[in-house]
Amino acid sequence: MKFFVDTADIADIKEMADTGLLDGVTTNPSLIAKSGRDFMEVTKEICDLVDGPVSAEVVALDHETMMKEAETLRKIADNVCIKVPLTIDGLKTCKKLTSDGTKVNVTLCFSANQALLAAKAGATFVSPFVGRHDDNGLDGMELIADIRRIYDNYDFGTEILVASIRNPVHVLKSALIGADVATMPPAVIKGLFKHILTDKGIEGFVADWEKTGQTIPTS
């Protein structure tokens, strides 16, 4: 499963990229606003930090303006992935863009039927929001499983990009279901490393090594 980080914070992206585990980045207008920086500038900087796709979202709601914004965004870098909402105009834009080779991430997916439409529109990625789904008393993981089954039934090439991930359990269940990508805040990615037995094991090794009085030469 691919790991994307969901942030527009350059320092966090650098830290995640240095692990060698980062496959891409997702952003949205809210994350860009939180960064307090110029949209085009920060998007270009992110694209320079990672080799994988960087989702940059249009803000228009009509097809014609979405296409104009997409034309501007995809000039930023070769790895820009245009992000559009799951609306009629969004899917119309998706179809047009993917037809000429542009990667598109269809966002704000909350039903398997919507995901089916995104795949038919040729989406590169579809982003179902599991955390927000859970917030409304529904089962986000059931949604991912339904989308996986539908896509496998018809051999759709659209990748399931699980979004609105709140915790490591969401990541685990997404991987078990067979989701293609998980996009997460930096804190969730860091949480995947943590286990109390790992921490205790390291403490024990360090204590035992110190008792030997030895060092491993580093130069």
Tens digit of each residue's pLDDT (9 = 90 or more) over 67-118:
999 999 999 999 999 999 999 999 999 999 999 999 999 999 999 999 999 9
- Phi/psi for 97 (5° steps) reads -70, -45
Identity of the amino acid at 9:
D
How much is the pLDDT for 127? Answer: 98
pLDDT band of residue 128 (cuts 50, 70, 90) is: very high
CB atoms within 10 A of CB 54: 28
Q: Mean per-residue pLDDT for 174-197?
A: 97
Per-residue pLDDT for 7 more than 90? Answer: yes
How much is the pLDDT for 35? Answer: 84
Percent of the chain with pLDDT over 90: 95
Active site (annotated) includes residue 83 = yes
8 contacts: CB under 8 Å, gap ≥ 6: 27, 31, 32, 34, 35, 37, 42, 46
Percent of the chain with pLDDT over 70: 100
Q: Mean per-residue pLDDT for 119-124?
A: 98
- The model's pTM is 0.94
Per-residue pLDDT for 203 more than 90? Answer: yes
Contact between 4 and 25 (Cβ < 8 Å): yes
Looking at 14, 44, 83, 92, which residue is catalytic?
A: 83
In the three-class reduction of DSSP (H, G, I as helix; E, B as strand; rest coil), residue 204 is classed as: helix
Q: Mean per-residue pLDDT for 7-18?
A: 95
How much is the pLDDT for 37? Answer: 87
How much is the pLDDT for 36? Answer: 85
Contact between 2 and 24 (Cβ < 8 Å): yes
How much is the pLDDT for 32? Answer: 87
Q: What would the pLDDT profile of 32-73 be if each residue is shown by its tens digit?
A: 888 888 999 999 999 999 999 999 999 999 999 999 999 999
Which residue has tokens 């991987």? 175
Q: How many residues in total does the chain contain?
A: 219
Per-residue pLDDT for 159 more than 90? Answer: yes
Domains of the chain: 2-194 (3.20.20.70)
pLDDT band of residue 29 (cuts 50, 70, 90) is: confident
Q: Mean per-residue pLDDT for 170-184?
A: 98
201 contacts: CB under 8 Å, gap ≥ 6: none
